[in-house]
Chain A
Amino acid sequence: MTAVAVTVTVLLAVAGGLTLMRIIRGPSILDRAVATDVLLAIIVAAIATEAAYSRDATALPVLVVLAVLGFVGSVSVARFAARRNTK
């Protein structure tokens, strides 16, 4: 299981790095919102993998919160961007 955990960690870390580059490069705020959503999904995957690796369910409630929070975040950014665009 350790080899699996290392593999998954490396894959997720690279994915997170690429996503961070998109967040930095933009160009628009919506690009960043989408990339942040992906980063959040990667973080959820990382926490779930950790829970699976150590057989420890302490972090699982965090996942529930994250699954809802990401939605609120990108919806509010989208509303903000839409209002600015239509002015």
Chain B
Amino acid sequence: MAAIILLIFAPLLAGVINRAKAFFAGRTGQPLLQVYFDIAKLLRKGVVYSRTTTWVFRAGPIVSLAAVLCAACMIPLGGVRALMSFPGDFILVAYLLGLARFMTVLAALDTGSAFEGMGASREVQFAALTEPALLLALISIGSATGDWSLHEMFAVVNAHAWAAHGAVLAMATVALLAVLLVENSRVPFDDPNTHLELTMIHEVMVLDHSGPDLAFIEFGASVKFAMFAALLSGLIVPVRTGLAWVDASAALAGLFAVAVVAGVIESCMARLRILRVPQMLVAASVLAGVAILVALAQGVAP
């Protein structure tokens, strides 16, 4: 069920981020539904392919979107059930996102463009460091709650759990926020709005895509953001009443809150130097590791 909510609202979250940024800049901003319009427009367009490219370039957006959609099926939204859940499902989620990234990177390399090669190179560097942070953050939540499927892990994060494991959950939240920002190429790790290709990471990798291919990429990107936002919302909104609509609307509010937070961070912070990004990512991993240690220490103590 959570997956359906995520797919429907995913493009809206980008609109919320943009509105938050516009508010800070004193602008009116784009319509909230702009990303839906963009996707609809792109689906109606034709495409231009570089003569250098091969089937890898055409498969990239398709496989990436398919992998992200499969991953979204395992994401719970607060107390709202994930479409499927099993012990260790978050590992599959992490590796499905890895598959999506692998295909995006290969599609970028397929163009033979120096800029896309550069973006791809940075993307794989950051991804290699983000993956441990993501898994450690989720494991810290799991070791506090004692469950190993995303659904069960997040189903018990209520006010009581925050009272018992506040420190662990807080550290996991910060680590997950860092992962969300870097995985979705937001400030301070990457700037989706920069005008200079040299400084881009994710956006430069998809320079050559157009038409429906780009629509797939845009939709995939917003679903990916929504997935991480759902995980964060599950942490910061500890409402688990058991009433489906109460839980769902609370979690949905949390989803938008995460989008607003991302917009606020983007408005208030400068982007990090690219050389600093790995340090931040290692710091997120360390923080998640400390969270696990704390959870274990609490678990061992009577």
A-B interaction? no
